[in-house]
Amino acid sequence: MHLRDSESDAEFRAELRAWLADAVTTLPAPPDATDWPGRRQFDTVWQNMLFEAGYAGVNWPAEYGGRGATPTQHLIFLEEAAAAKAPDVGVGFVGQMHAGPTLIAEGTPEQQAHHLRGILTGDHVWCQGFSEPGAGSDLASLRTRAIRDGDDYVVTGQKIWTSHAMVADYCELLVRTDPDAAKHKGITWLILPMDTPGIDVRPLMTVQGSAEFAELFLDEVRIPVANRVGEENDGWRVTNVTLSFERGTGFVGELLDTTNIMGELVELAQRTPRGAGTVWDDDGLRRDIGAIAAELDALWAFTKRNVSQGAKGGMAMGSGSAFKMSYATVVHKLGDIALRVLDRSSLAFDDIGGESTGAQIHHKLKGFAVGIGGGTSQIQQNIIAERVLGLPRER
Amino acid sequence: MDLDPSEDQRELQQMVRRFSLDRFPADTVRDFAAPGHFDRSAWRELAELGTFGIALPESAGGVGLRWIDTVLVHEALGAALTPGPLVAATLAAGLVPGVLEGEVVPAIVERPTHGAVVVEHLSVADVLLVIETDGIRQLDPSSLDATLLAEPTDPATPVSLVRELPLGELIANADTAKHLRLLGSLLASAQLVGNAEGSTALAVNYAQEREQFGRPIGSFQGLKHLLADCYARTEVSRSAVWAAGVLVDEPEAGDLHRAVAGARVLAGRAAAENGKTCVQVHGGMGFTWEVDAHLFLKRAWILETAFGSIDEAAEQVAESLSASLA
Ligand SMILES: Cc1cc2nc3c(=O)[nH]c(=O)nc-3n(C[C@H](O)[C@H](O)[C@H](O)COP(=O)(O)OP(=O)(O)OC[C@H]3O[C@@H](n4cnc5c(N)ncnc54)[C@H](O)[C@@H]3O)c2cc1C
């Protein structure tokens, strides 16, 4: 066991660091969180720069246009990008983390040829149409109906919580193709071009005050059968290929972001006068922050452990769940401390007193996104209890 | 980077755990602290496995592995609830002749800033090491004004009250003292991780067997979620402890002091919380002397205070944050 970089990893890190240092200085100012076309444009520019420099799809196989780097180097990439304060994956999330890997694993050569490059260059933005009003944690109960009509599926139904749907070109869509089969057995995975007639996207305002996700109304939307990934009624298996990308390393960027936010909170606490000194002089608060930092360090070590296992063939069952639920808890705890540090400056999302106080409140609310999106913490607990600890199912 | 133990390392852990469960079964652990119950021959056998010299060079009689391996061994010892001055012996093995072989049994304590001092395992020790700011001093336990306490919190950990520690002979310098304190904290944390895992396994086992309302209590989500939390705490704290263990061997790869302090915060909490859950999951049985649940919990409380408290550790991490900003 070791933590230091191997020679080739150290080389990779050094080259990347040098490139990042230059690259971030050429970026335009980031757009406002509510300016969706601007956000898409900004994220695409960055992704394009990564592509040109050979850093797009670091962990994708080289034969599909990726860098074919080791999981460890992928981790180094994410670490260095965060350290350089480079933009995160942004609207490229679903394409790079879910849709792309699914197409690599399950797509036809035509589908791969048509889609993968666009994801890597940043020109194709994807969204994920899985959840429905009636199908959240119990995703397999989804009801959006697809009826075969010649070379098309005709799809009618409703999706919800579809992140970035407002600016997406494609949607990875789960539909029901066999309503009579057992719920896991009648689902199909389709590629939906978002400019197809019959789609109505209605943005939903989140607790953070911006429209990160949307409702998707589908009314007799025609999707070519050629857009099916995997066999008809085999979509649940295809979906699980996707979900396995969603847990574990998928949160590395977020974890590093949280670590940055914590660093900013410490600085803020040291600058904020309270009583005879500053907020940082408060023993209780300082220790609570110390404990949070320890937890973030531990989650970083956990990530390295998972990546190490991944490099040897696979993460241990339950590690992704344990990571995700623990991370959600830490974000909540950090947010609680942020309110104690901010005190009355927490009354607005606006920055107060020349400090970036708003970012702390935004981040506090993010705890919910982590603990709800992609399988709630309770669902992660169920997974650990039943599949790792072997406790009997409730029903 | 590789933070996943090798096959050999896992086998080493299993070997130590099996040996320990075999030679120190729960029934002997239960009243290990009672006078005359310390089993010197079992202790010698444990020493013969190489337990106390994992990271000592072979030229010094050790196994010649690294500190991370020592950490893994202590994790296994903690999971098996192995009794005795395990951390003391591992720290003293390179300093006091006979400890490595299990012939000389050591106790170790930090000199308190004031007042009397509580020392674990003093009643069975042949030598007492005192960690001081200027180095490590050695004392003869029989020369001390010490009282063996009648009711130690952990029935497997005898404790004595020493009214005043004399100075003693200086056997190592200040740097060694500092380093040993750090290692002592880390090894106690490693045992805490094993303890957290052990109490979880005990609770899961009971939850699968015990039935109420016509089904195993482990099918109730209220218990499932408590136990899933135990699992998550164990794995997160284990990651922290392993990273700290690797940093002892590769100090250039990170902030060792912060890692050891952070590991204590996580491992201390994990063991204490999991131990509580273990008692709760056992219901009335959990409140009995007979069930092992309290042994895990009480050992966790003892280890949690070894070479620094959770509060002190959290403070250290906080200080490292402000130092890294300065
Ligand atoms: C920020 C964000 C972004 C998202 N982006 C997307 C996206 O891009 N695409 C997409 O398809 N979906 C997306 N989602 C949806 C997300 O996957 C669902 O919200 C999530 O799976 C939970 O489903 P639900 O909202 O219907 O809650 P429900 O399933 O109704 O859960 C409500 C509560 O009941 C609990 N609960 C439910 N079942 C159980 C059980 N068996 N045991 C114990 N407790 C249970 C839950 O833990 C929760 O506390 C996003 C969600 C968020 C918050």
Give me the pLDDT at residue A120, please. Answer: 98
CB contact at 8 A, A297 and B264 = no
Which ligand 1 atom minimizes the distance to the CA of A139?
21
Question: A376: which chain B residues are within 8 Å (Cβ-Cβ)?
Answer: none
Residues 230-289 of B with CB under 8 A from A: 231-233, 235-237, 239-240, 242-243, 245-247, 249-250, 252-254, 258-259, 261-263, 265-266
Note whether A290 contacts B265, CB cutoff 8 Å: yes
Note whether B224 contacts A312, CB cutoff 8 Å: no
Local confidence band at A158 (pLDDT 50, 70, 90 cut-offs)? very high
Q: Which of B281, B238, B221 is nearest to A381 (CA)?
A: B221
Question: Residues A379-386: what's their mean pLDDT?
Answer: 97
Dist CA A64 CA A109 (whole Å)? 10
Q: What is the pLDDT of residues A275-305, one digit of tens each?
A: 999 999 999 999 999 999 999 999 999 999 9
To the nearest whole Å, the CA of B184 is away from the closest chain A CA by 19
Signed CA dihedral, B3, B7, B9, B10: sign only: positive
- Look at ligand 1, atom 48, and give the residue with the nearest C-alpha: A376
Eight-class DSSP state of A200: E
Cα–ligand 1 centroid distance for B33 (angstroms) = 51
Q: What is the pLDDT along chain B (326 residues), one digit of tens a residue?
A: 999 999 999 999 999 999 999 999 988 888 888 888 899 999 999 999 999 999 999 999 999 999 999 999 999 999 999 999 999 999 999 999 999 999 999 999 999 888 899 999 999 999 999 999 999 999 999 999 999 999 999 999 999 999 999 999 999 999 999 999 999 999 999 999 999 999 999 999 999 999 999 999 999 999 999 999 999 999 999 999 999 999 999 999 999 999 999 999 999 999 999 999 999 999 999 999 999 999 999 999 999 999 999 999 999 999 999 877 65
- Residue A42 near ligand 1, beta carbon < 6 Å: no
Dist CA A333 CA A363 (whole Å)? 11
Cβ contacts of A103 within 8 Å, gap of 6 or more:
A111, A112, A115, A116, A229
- Residue A381 near ligand 1, beta carbon < 6 Å: no
Nearest CA in chain A to B209: A391
Question: Residues A312-334: what's their mean pLDDT?
Answer: 93
Q: What pTM was estimated for this model as a whole?
A: 0.96
Question: A326: which chain B residues are within 8 Å (Cβ-Cβ)?
Answer: 232-233, 236
Query: With an 8 Å Cβ cutoff, is B7 touching chain A?
Result: no
Strand A199-204 to A213-224 pairing: antiparallel
Alpha helices in chain A (DSSP H): 7-23, 36-53, 71-83, 93, 100-106, 109-121, 235-246, 252-271, 283-311, 319-342, 357-372, 377-383
CB contact at 8 A, B100 and B61 = yes
**Closest residue to B227, CB basis, from A293, A305, A385:** A385
Local confidence band at A119 (pLDDT 50, 70, 90 cut-offs)? very high
Helix (H, G, I), strand (E, B) or coil at A213: strand
Q: On the CB side of A9, how many CA atoms lie within 13 Å of its CA?
A: 17
**For testing contact with chain B, the best of A73, A268, A272, A297 (most B CBs within 10 A):** A297
What is the radius of gyration, based on Cα positions, of chain A?
A: 22
Q: Which of B213, B176, B214, B320 is nearest to B262 (CA)?
A: B320
* Structural domains of chain A in order of their starting residue, each with its CATH number: 7-88 (1.10.540.10), 127-232 (2.40.110.10), 251-388 (1.20.140.10)
Helix (H, G, I), strand (E, B) or coil at B148: strand
Cα–ligand 1 centroid distance for A119 (angstroms) = 26
Question: Residues A177-196: what's their mean pLDDT?
Answer: 97
- Residue A130 near ligand 1, beta carbon < 6 Å: yes
Eight-class DSSP state of B66: -
Give me the pLDDT at residue A247, please. Answer: 40
Give me the pLDDT at residue A34, please. Answer: 84
- Mind giving me the DSSP string for A80-116? HHHHTT----GGGHIIIIIIHHHHHHH--HHHHHHHH
Give me the pLDDT at residue A246, please. Answer: 42
CB contact at 8 A, A179 and A145 = yes
Give me the pLDDT at residue A242, please. Answer: 61
